[in-house]
């Protein structure tokens, strides 16, 4: 945890004034008119109607609240901004890993992040909820399941008078939220944003909007990919977030997690319970998504499939896509993010007609710190385009176009493959992958949306993995998403975003883009277990020498391949940096006539491409990947 130090380099928002006037103005939006230092700080424990730890007592989740005292004194009820998290006492929140703090009587003092500092003076309450089994809540966390979702949903019910809250963790007197108007907006990064998705998928009354930042939409797609396993399961995460919350025995719940998340990558009941995409039809709240297109932690298929499912439900949507990895927009575009978030909450929680819903739907980072607005995501004019690999004069290397293909190509899975190893020498034969390129583009191509690949492969063994990726070949300066900061560098100066109070300041270290020069950029990835060719729910042993056809997804993105670059498809076996491999690596023979990739494109790829001239040596790319950290 970084300790906030000294004076801020720039005070962006002045200290709140105590002025007895309404906090909302249709002309200007909400202003910081309420006293933050004198705000009410309290904890309410809400009964979620479960007994997850089996102790014979209903689980109660702790909701730490900070709210301006003036509105209640004036008889005015206010909306709530909520962040429900398992991390308030385990790994912390934000780029500076802030934890909740309490005084000697157990009253909340320090609220992580800037939400309270910025929004409480503007007439909002901020409620930070400890998921069941974490920090000061009883029960057990279940990593995106019913307990996690109920932890936050029931607090919304309490804010609307439909659930019971208490003044203590056990016993205590009943507490009501007479100060709340029932309107709630949920926000949070990673696990927190995931819970926002899950609660929205219940259709709970009172939830008006959610802002999921790098959030999961289906936990299967956090731990697995089309039958392939990423090699870890939810029980480990549960134990991490429960570690500092003594007094509960969660071994039974953790055992359920371990057993339900089968190592073979099959989609089963545990994953179905945690699949919010299938419940997206229930969503009534507006949704403001933010995600890094190079997030290798919460992979981008999570925002893509959620976004597409929400489109069918007709809810108001907005999206920001950055070049970063797993990073909060507060740490890569701070001023613009806070301003946009302010307008968003003012509109959907305060009812202010500020036009935010009429602004461009999508904002995309094209180059580090260079942003472009789009009227929609996927981009207007996008068309699902089928590209087919065609053999060239070099074995395992050929062209990619809309033309029909024929023939075969082979490679061997040595169980040591990586995307950089496969992509580094695009014009030469590799024993471990095949590569097909559009050749040099005479005009740009924009990949906007979610791609998929259909592969017909004949394995030499009874099990096989497939990895596929789309690559933009050409020199570029990009955010160093595989570095320690996943595309950002953290400085020592600070800026302040709201009002300060003893033990809870609004100042955060300034960040900047961490960039690197590359010769190619991987823009979309996907992985699969060929044994799941018939069903994700049940793998089938493969018969060596028999062809199998499988369609699997590639990561959602929005990327422009510039004129003069080329777009390539690479197919390999086990990407050892990401998925677990079979016991023995097979030789895989690809039927090119029955293999294709469907890409959402704006622009027309060359009908008869020519391979670009071979580079002098291996191309530069990012050589390391940041460790996964679901924060």
E strand spans, 450-562: 452-459, 465-479, 488-496, 507-513, 515-529, 548-553, 557-561
Give yes or no for residue 14 having a pLDDT over 90: no
Active site residue ranges: 190, 295, 326
Mean pLDDT, residues 128-148: 97
Give yes or no for residue 574 having a pLDDT over 60: yes
Predicted confidence at residue 617, as pLDDT, reads 54
Predicted confidence at residue 245, as pLDDT, reads 67
Whole-model pTM above 0.75? Answer: yes
Mean pLDDT, residues 387-398: 96
Percent of the chain whose pLDDT exceeds 90:
89
- Mean pLDDT score of the chain, rounded to an integer? 92
For the domain spanning 383-476+520-602, the CATH number is 2.60.120.260
Q: Tell me 275's DSSP state.
A: B
Say which residues have a Cβ less than 8 Å from residue 621's Cβ, sequence separation at least 6.
420, 423, 424, 518, 519, 520, 521, 522
pLDDT digits (tens, 9 = 90+) for 44-70: 999 999 999 999 999 999 999 999 999
Which of the four pLDDT bands, split at 50, 70 and 90, describes residue 614? low
Distance CA 495, CA 507 (A): 5
pLDDT digits (tens, 9 = 90+) for 87-122: 999 999 999 999 999 999 999 999 999 999 999 999
Backbone angles phi, psi at 193, to 5 degrees: -65, -30
Backbone angles phi, psi at 393, to 5 degrees: -75, -15
Predicted confidence at residue 29, as pLDDT, reads 83
Give yes or no for residue 23 having a pLDDT over 50: no
Percent of the chain whose pLDDT exceeds 70:
92
Predicted confidence at residue 618, as pLDDT, reads 62
Length of the chain (residues): 631
Predicted confidence at residue 8, as pLDDT, reads 33
Mean pLDDT, residues 519-547: 97
Distance CA 209, CA 348 (A): 7
Mean pLDDT, residues 311-319: 95
Predicted confidence at residue 2, as pLDDT, reads 30
Which of the four pLDDT bands, split at 50, 70 and 90, describes residue 500? very high
Q: Coil, strand or helix: which one is 499?
A: coil
Predicted confidence at residue 16, as pLDDT, reads 32
Predicted confidence at residue 31, as pLDDT, reads 96
The domains of the chain are located at 23-377, 383-476+520-602
User: Which residues, in sequence order, are bridge partners of residue 181?
Assistant: none
Distance CA 146, CA 609 (A): 52
SS (H, E, C) 319-351: EEEECCCCCCHHHCCHHHHHHHHHHHHHHHHHC
Mean pLDDT, residues 409-436: 97
Distance CA 25, CA 33 (A): 11
Predicted confidence at residue 5, as pLDDT, reads 26
pLDDT digits (tens, 9 = 90+) for 194-250: 999 999 999 999 999 999 999 999 999 999 999 999 999 999 999 999 977 667 899
CATH architecture observed for domain 23-377: 3-Layer(aba) Sandwich (3.40)
Predicted confidence at residue 612, as pLDDT, reads 53
Predicted confidence at residue 607, as pLDDT, reads 79
Predicted confidence at residue 20, as pLDDT, reads 30
Which of the four pLDDT bands, split at 50, 70 and 90, describes residue 19? very low
Which of the four pLDDT bands, split at 50, 70 and 90, describes residue 277? very high
Give yes or no for residue 337 having a pLDDT over 50: yes
Predicted confidence at residue 399, as pLDDT, reads 96
Mean pLDDT, residues 258-265: 95
Q: Coil, strand or helix: which one is 538?
A: coil
Which of the four pLDDT bands, split at 50, 70 and 90, describes residue 3? very low
E strand spans, 101-229: 101-102, 108-110, 125-130, 165-166, 174-175, 180-189, 207-213, 224-225, 228-229
Predicted confidence at residue 619, as pLDDT, reads 67
């Amino acid at each position: 945890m970084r300790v906030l130090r000294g004076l801020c380099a720039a005070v962006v928002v002045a200290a709140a004034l105590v002025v007895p006037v309404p906090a909302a103005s249709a002309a200007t939006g909400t202003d910081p008119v309420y006293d933050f230092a004198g705000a009410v700080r309290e904890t309410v424990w809400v009964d979620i109607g479960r007994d997850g730890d089996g102790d014979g007592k209903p689980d109660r989740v702790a909701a730490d609240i900070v709210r301006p005292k003036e509105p209640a004194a004036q008889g005015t009820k206010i909306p709530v901004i909520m962040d429900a998290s398992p991390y308030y006492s385990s790994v912390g929140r934000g780029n500076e890993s802030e934890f909740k703090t309490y005084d000697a009587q157990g009253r909340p003092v320090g609220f992580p992040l800037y939400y309270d500092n910025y929004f409480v003076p503007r007439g909002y309450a901020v409620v930070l909820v400890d998921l069941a089994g974490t920090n000061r809540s009883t029960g057990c966390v279940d990593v995106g399941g019913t307990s996690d979702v109920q932890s936050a949903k029931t607090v919304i019910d309490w804010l609307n008078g439909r659930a019971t809250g208490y003044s203590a963790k056990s016993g205590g007197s009943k507490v009501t939220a007479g100060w709340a108007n029932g309107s709630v907006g949920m926000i949070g990064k990673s696990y927190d944003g995931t819970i926002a998705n899950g609660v929205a998928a219940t259709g709970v009354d009172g939830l008006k909007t959610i802002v999921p930042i790098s959030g999961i939409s289906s936990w299967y797609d956090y731990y697995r990919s089309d039958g392939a396993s990423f090699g870890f399961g939810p029980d480990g995460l549960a134990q991490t977030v429960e570690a500092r919350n003594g007094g509960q025995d969660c071994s039974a719940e953790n055992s359920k997690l371990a057993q339900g998340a089968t190592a073979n990558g099959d989609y089963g009941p545990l994953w179905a319970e945690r699949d919010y995409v299938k419940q997206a039809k229930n969503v009534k709240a507006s949704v403001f998504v933010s995600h890094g297109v190079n997030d290798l932690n919460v992979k981008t298929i999570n925002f893509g499939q959620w976004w597409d499912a929400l489109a069918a439900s007709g809810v108001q949507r907005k999206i920001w896509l950055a070049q970063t990895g797993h990073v909060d927009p507060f740490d890569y575009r701070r001023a613009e993010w806070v301003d946009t978030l302010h307008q968003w909450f003012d509109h959907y929680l305060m009812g202010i007609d500020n036009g935010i819903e009429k602004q461009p739907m999508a904002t995309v980072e094209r180059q580090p710190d260079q942003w472009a607005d789009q009227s929609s995501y996927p981009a207007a004019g996008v068309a699902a385009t089928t590209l087919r690999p065609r053999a060239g004069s070099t074995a395992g290397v050929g062209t990619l176009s809309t033309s029909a293909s024929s023939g075969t190509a082979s490679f061997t899975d040595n169980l040591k493959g990586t995307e950089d190893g496969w992509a580094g020498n695009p014009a030469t034969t590799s024993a471990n992958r095949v590569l097909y390129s559009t050749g040099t583009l005479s005009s740009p191509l924009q990949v906007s949306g979610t791609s998929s690949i259909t592969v017909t492969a004949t394995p030499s063994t009874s099990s096989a993995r497939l990895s596929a990726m789309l690559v933009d070949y050409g020199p570029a300066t990009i955010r160093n998403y595989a570095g320690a900061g996943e595309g950002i560098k953290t400085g020592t100066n600070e800026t302040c975003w709201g009002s300060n109070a003893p033990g809870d300041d609004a100042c955060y270290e300034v960040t900047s883009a961490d960039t690197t020069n590359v010769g190619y950029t991987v823009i979309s990835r996907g992985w699969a277990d060929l044994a799941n060719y018939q069903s994700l729910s049940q793998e089938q042993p493969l018969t060596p020498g028999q062809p199998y056809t499988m369609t699997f997804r590639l990561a959602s993105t929005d990327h422009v391949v510039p004129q003069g670059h080329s777009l390539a498809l690479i197919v390999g076996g086990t990407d050892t940096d990401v998925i677990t491999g079979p016991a023995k690596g097979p030789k895989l023979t690809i039927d090119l006539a029955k293999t294709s990739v469907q890409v959402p494109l704006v622009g027309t790829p060359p009908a008869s491409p020519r391979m670009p001239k071979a580079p002098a040596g291996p191309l530069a790319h990012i050589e390391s990947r940041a460790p996964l950290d679901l924060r």
